[in-house]
Amino acid sequence: MTESSFVSKQILQRCPNNGGWVAPDPVFWDQGIHSPQPACLSDLGSLHQATGCLYTWLRRLPSMPPYPNAPALIRANLEALQSGQRVKGVAIGTLTAAQLNAINAERTAEENRLPPILEEVIFFGSHAYQSRVLQDGYTIEDVVDQVLSAMDAQSVVVASPRMTTIQNPIPRADRYGNQIQDKAVLECTRRHSKAELFTVVPKGDNNKPKKQKSHP
């Protein structure tokens, strides 16, 4: 995704007070970011400069929908699993309104007739630990990065007849030289109103980590 597609020039308007550039609130809503007032980029003389500045400003804002403590919660569950302990589900963030609406539209369609889910996402980590750490050789920090990236506000719902997934369309440079588009597989059942982040898939990981040999 390019800067021009991320921040359209159409969202910038001339400020009536000083002739600078203004970004109205809807641009922040569209990206899952809430701003109390428009951002006035009055010191920038050209539309190209204003667009680039707004793009940079948006990218530096806190990454939601993961909660601020999500990395610590994800890491703690994975480390507990590594130690052979049982873990409880922890709330690590929320789906955006766009993500939630897309998932619920599919669930409540006439051919499915499933109840809608709520926006909060729960993480246990058992399957992610088994598949990504034990099978693929990723570190716990790798998996934390994968989950946070897949849970990004920019992630989109990927249609699938067998599972509910969201995938980040923005490539992420991992520790192995790959450009990854992380995908989260969500467990959505009739019994529970909240989705569980069942596992994560680092799409595009052509360079796999080297598995550590187990010692007898």
Gap between the Cα atoms of 164 and 149, Å rounded: 17
CB of 118 closer than 8 Å to CB of 93: no
> What is the model's pLDDT at position 189?
80
Domain boundaries, the chain: 3-60, 70-203
Q: Which two tokens stand for residue 182?
A: 């992380």
Q: What are the pLDDT tens digits along the chain (216 aa)?
A: 333 333 333 333 444 444 444 444 333 333 333 333 344 444 444 444 444 444 343 344 444 589 999 999 999 999 999 999 999 999 999 999 999 999 999 888 867 788 899 999 999 999 999 999 999 999 999 999 999 999 999 999 997 778 899 999 999 999 999 999 999 999 988 778 899 999 999 999 999 998 755 444
Question: What single-letter DSSP state applies at residue 121?
Answer: E
Gap between the Cα atoms of 148 and 170, Å rounded: 13
Gap between the Cα atoms of 96 and 100, Å rounded: 6
Q: How far is CA 13 from CA 25, 36, 63, in A?
A: 12, 17, 26
CB of 33 closer than 8 Å to CB of 153: yes
For 16, the 3-state DSSP assignment is coil
> What is the model's pLDDT at position 210?
80
How many Å is the Cα radius of gyration of the chain? Answer: 20
> What is the model's pLDDT at position 212?
59
Gap between the Cα atoms of 154 and 32, Å rounded: 8
> What is the model's pLDDT at position 56?
43
